[in-house]
Homo-oligomer: A and B are copies of this chain.
Amino acid sequence: MKVAIAGYGVVGSGVAEMLIKNRETIAQAIGQDICLEYVVDIREVDLPEDVELTDDIDRVLGDPDVKVLFETIGGARIAYEYTQKALSRGIGVITSNKELVATRGDELRELARQKGAWYLCEAAVCGGVPVLRPLKTDLAGNRILHLNGIVNGSTNFLLTRMEETRMTFNAALAEAKSLGYLEADPTADVDGLDARRKLAILANAAFGARLSDDRLIPTTGIGRVTQRDLHAARLMGGALKLIAHARRTEEGWTGWVHPSFVPDGHPLVGVRDVFNGLCVNGDCVGDVMFYGQGAGRLPTASALIGDLVELARNLDRPVSCDVLPVVPFVAPDEEPVRAVIRVEGDVLPLCEAIPVEDVRSDGPLNAVLTTDMPLKELKERIGIVRRMGSELGVPLIGLC
């Protein structure tokens, strides 16, 4: 069986390396040998022996022996065009491109279904950690009730470094850039957009959400997080993490991406550095967690090859695991949340405005834990207190 890679950057070259290095292991898992025949790229790149470099996607897709295209280009333009062409010819596409999956995935999935081709994207969420296939197979007999994830390794690294060394956000940002953990323009990570895309893909696997509803998910990044917010979380007996949250509701599903308070003892509290973790709650299985490296060249390649193993075992049969109905997104306004709020100075105005469960102080810094109340109402009341002149931090939505 022949395969091709489109886009020979960090991830694409990782796939090539793994295909060659673990050729025997992969052949054993699939039951046949996999041959990397083409790499499609416009740059002059160094390729392994016997692999042909070309910029002509049509010629590659026209080779009747090519059964799978790895799309590791990124972005939603050329990647879309190539994916669309491959699926139209009934060629399976395996991708790590969460931007494309979140923005055009609904349409591409439908095309794949019509053409009897597979479009798989395990690598788009939590890198090498298996999450989508377990949701769609192992846990598929459960009604998934809710999930919470640390799905962006870069921001988790920033928060971990700020916590460990007490450095500022900007200093941590500079360090992460120098280590190659952040893009030159880190906006998509820092503002939570990357996490939001991954949440949409997870909600699709868990509830049957529309992928493009990613745009509707309320999202707050970590750009405004300070040492004092981290300190407030510690004071309250936990840690500050950027959490992607989704929950089944009566009418559909809801969710958000937001800096959150994770109490000590919660399985996600130990997820540090560039690691990812996902907690899923199913009506029968209870809580299950998946944990590992959410990014990186070979961990991401591992997930792409996992998809190849499934695809190659099922090449000649209809796509069977994407049959979920489309479930609507509902804004989380009415969702009951708990929050930890940092207050500098007088804590009284806040305690008068919201129902409070616990207050802890360390000098002029106070941390207030609210009881469950609807998210929208909580935000309104916090807004009022802020306008009255109190200095409050970003409210950290609490996980239980």
Contacts and interface: CB of A to CB of B under 8 A. Distances in A.
A254 interface: no
A286 B128 contact: yes
Contacts of A321: 29, 313
A26 interface: yes
A105 interface: no
Contact of A285 (B31, B128, B288, B323): B128
A142 B136 CA distance: 22
Nearest to A306: B138
A31 B323 contact: yes
A296 B282 CA distance: 14
Given A292-B288, A293-B287, A302-B141, A325 B28 contact: yes
Contacts of A31: 320, 323
B283 A267 contact: no
A286 B299 contact: yes
B298 A285 contact: yes
A309 interface: yes
A50 to B, nearest CB: 20
Given A138-B306, A313-B321, A291 B293 contact: no
A25 B130 CA distance: 21
A137 B291 contact: no
Interface in A256-288: 265, 267, 269-270, 282-288
A335 to B, nearest CB: 22
Contacts of A286: 128, 292-293, 296, 298-299
Contact of A143 (B25, B141, B288, B317): B25
A141 B313 contact: no
A386 interface: no
Given A302-B282, A313-B320, A324-B28, A267 B288 contact: no
A303 interface: yes
Chain A interface extent, by class = 35 or more
Given A284-B22, A284-B302, A140 B290 contact: no
Contact of A290 (B283, B290, B293, B324): B290
Number of copies: 2
A229 interface: no
A19 to B, nearest CB: 8
Contacts of A22: 141-143, 283-284
Contacts of A129: 285, 288
Given A288-B292, A292-B285, A302-B285, A310 B141 contact: no
A93 interface: no
Nearest to A304: B141
A289 interface: yes
Nearest to A133: B138
Interface string A309-322: 11001100100110
A182 to B, nearest CB: 20
A175 to B, nearest CB: 21
A296 B139 CA distance: 15
A54 B321 CA distance: 34
A305 B134 contact: no
4 A-B pairs closest in CB distance: A141-B305, A130-B138, A29-B140, A288-B292
Given A134-B134, A289-B291, A313-B321, 8 more contacts: A21-B284, A22-B283, A128-B285, A133-B137, A137-B306, A285-B292, A286-B296, A288-B293
